Amino acid sequence: MFNFRKNIVYRYYILVVFGFTLFALVIIGNAAFIMFKERDEWNKIKERNIKYNVPIEPHRGKILNDKGELMVSTLPLYRIYIDFDYTNLHNQRDQIKTGRKKDSIWNADLHELCVGLNEIFPDKSVEKFEKDLSLGLRNKKRYHPLYGRKISYTQYQRIMKLPIMTEGRKYNGVIAEEEIQRKNIFGDIGMSTFGIVRKTTDKNKKEIEEINGLEQKYDKALRGIPGVGRREKIGGKFILKTDRAAVNGMDIQTTINSDMLDICENAVKKVLAKYHLPAGWAILMETETGDIKSIVNLTRLSNGKYAETIENIPNNPTPNHALCRLMEPGSIFKTVALTAAIDDGKLTTKDSVISYKSKVCYFGKQKVTDEMYRDNGTGKYSMAEALKYSSNISMVQYIRKAYGKNPEEYTNTLQRFGLTENYRLIDREATPYLTLPGTKMWNGHSLHSMSYGYAVGMTGINILSFYNTIANGGKQMQPRLVKAIIKDDEVVEEFPTKVLNNNLFSKATADTITSLLVEVVNGKDGTGARAKSKLMTVAGKTGTANVPNSVTKKYDNSEKMMSFCGFFPAEKPKYTLLVQMMYDKKQDTRPDSLKIKLGGGSTAAVAFKEIAEKIMAQHNTMPLDAVRDTVNNRLPNIKDGNMVEASIVLDELEHPMGRQSWSDESPEAAVWGKTKLENDSIYLFQGKAVNKEFVPDVRGMGAKDAVYLMQQCNLDVEISGYGTVKSQSIVAGTRIKGKRTVKLTLAP
């Protein structure tokens, strides 16, 4: 029997399956069409509106001085925009609710916001801010600039505390575009040591990162970890949204002292400028710890000015003269030679050598010359005289006497002294060298040359470290430039002071050499006489080394390096200092009448003295009561302006304010006025309330009070100069009609 009902159901099932199958095929077909036929077009649309996996650069860590104060930092600059047409794409109902609340907040608090913006940016009036933002709000602009210029991080923080801005992104619509700048707080000072990080292009015009100095040495810690975000197009502009936040870099705390850095730079620059020298540098080390308190590298630029630079330009063959420039040190190496001979037991200060009757002497075929010849009448030179007069001829005799039969013993001692050590304070620090017996560089003159600072290549830091060991009584310290790596004010890794050798040479040897170095500065006719100070005893040695001509590579006296290295106070050294300066005859543009023969004693020693005295002056502190003037009770002048603020300051200083003369019965209304001293002992306040219908008299006020008072009277202000207001373009007492601009002229 035929089951009609069952047959209908069966056919219905078939129809439904067929319908779903057809619908699925349509979807699959459309998907395939989009995936293959329209794929490129949709990808282009996506790329135009959303860019994924955009790297977010972290803020690079700061470089701090020895006190934890800022030296180099990543400073963000911002451009602030407002999205007045913010929409919640995920919830239409919330979109309407959000829009209504946003509009009500902006309409209610716009004036207060503009008042706050004017306080941050006084060059734009409250009315201009209000008019501009009202236009953006009315037209629902999506990328409306809040302020037309880049602003600092501090200004950005102040903006975000203003009305409306505190309501959050959903209602204030703030879009902040950040631009990162790496900046040395003190300009170029210390640049060659701190280093730089910058984008540049190679010869193939490919963008590369250039990095050096401490920035390179501690790049891993400073750099941080990049984040990931996406750029979405809003109002025709791409806005970066964060998917994974970047981890900012860690800070490094150096041993550099900002004040000492400034002292060294000024002293070196002064001597360089006086004699038109092409370059000069100085390294200051704390004797006991080995901490480097200052490194200054100055180069004469094409405009004649002196600055620190890492550029490969004339006068600057290395990115850091003090750490990266290998040179024959000249006579400051004589101290090293005598230390070796005394500590090896080869010589004592009682030894003497022949005093030749001429400035020139031949040892075999080698010609040796003395620049500062002295005939003391005895026919002999003591060790003290050899060092004091910086006699090359005497030094050759002393070292021949000590090591002539076994030169290798001399070079072994120099190696033991750590003179070939690379301390790796920065990545490009040069490695010193010695001429060694048995090598191709060694010849019959090598031992002689090495007695007075030739046939060796030294960096400034190596010479300084050796002198510091003398000052430390034979204890050799590791030079330290970085104290610690810090994250969120917590020390992540510390680099403590390190003793390399407690007894590199005996204290007796160190004391003997110290006495000889004191004689160089304080003895009669000593080459270091210009480093002599009335404030302390200085121990040190001059050096003037001929440098091979940069073109011919021959010693022709056209170029030389002039040095002074020593420590102070000699009795109990606190600091060891090296100053070195270059001379180039071609660049000596002084008039012939002013030209004098230059050497380490007339240049580097002069800068050494200034640095030493100014640094030690910082240690000569006195109790405040000892410098208080109890005879002349002079009181500071108070500028005209806000008398309430002036009275608060005087009250904090516990100084009597005297009587107050107000033109109004209510003193609270008389904020503005002036003061004068009565009987040179107490202040007399004279004030009155301000009538906002008339232009106030702001002469005698500071800029802050003058601008505020004028704006309270609905006047725009333009300022020129600095100091105290001397004149105003609209006469005081003029009735205010409409919007006007008053020009204030300030002078010290």
> What pLDDT is recorded for position 504?
97
Phi, psi angle pair for 462, to nearest 5°? -70, -45
Q: Which two tokens stand for residue 175?
A: 């879009």
Contact 437, 411 (CB under 8 A): yes
Q: Which two tokens stand for residue 21?
A: 């199958």
Nearest CA to 346 out of 414, 399, 419 is that of 399
> What pLDDT is recorded for position 565?
98
Per-residue model confidence as pLDDT tens digits over 208-236: 889 999 999 999 999 999 988 877 766 55
> What pLDDT is recorded for position 629?
59
Nearest CA to 184 out of 64, 353, 352, 354 is that of 64
> What pLDDT is recorded for position 653?
66
> What pLDDT is recorded for position 233?
66
> What pLDDT is recorded for position 372?
72
Residues of the chain with confidence (pLDDT) below 70 = 1-11, 29, 31-50, 86-99, 233-238, 373, 593, 621-636, 653-671, 676-688
For residues 741 and 718, give the distance between their C-alpha atoms in angstroms, rounded to a whole number: 7
> What pLDDT is recorded for position 666?
46
Amino acid making up residue 85 = D
For residues 652 and 676, give the distance between their C-alpha atoms in angstroms, rounded to a whole number: 19
- Pairing state of beta strands 672-678 and 682-688? antiparallel
Per-residue model confidence as pLDDT tens digits over 565-601: 999 999 999 999 999 999 999 998 888 767 788 999 9
For residues 29 and 21, give the distance between their C-alpha atoms in angstroms, rounded to a whole number: 12
For residues 606 and 625, give the distance between their C-alpha atoms in angstroms, rounded to a whole number: 35
3-class SS of residue 279: strand
Amino acid making up residue 556 = D
| DSSP code per residue over 319-342 | S-HHHH--B--GGGGHHHHHHHHH
> What pLDDT is recorded for position 662?
47
Rounded (5°) CA angle 726-155-73:
110
> What pLDDT is recorded for position 357?
80
Per the omega criterion (within 30 degrees of 0), is the bond before 569 cis?
Answer: yes
> What pLDDT is recorded for position 733?
84
Number of H helices, E strands in the chain: 21, 34
Q: Which two tokens stand for residue 591?
A: 């008039």
Contact 79, 270 (CB under 8 A): no
Handedness of CA 629, 633, 634, 639 (dihedral sign): positive
Contact 567, 601 (CB under 8 A): no
Contact 84, 145 (CB under 8 A): no
Contact 536, 616 (CB under 8 A): yes
> What pLDDT is recorded for position 1?
47
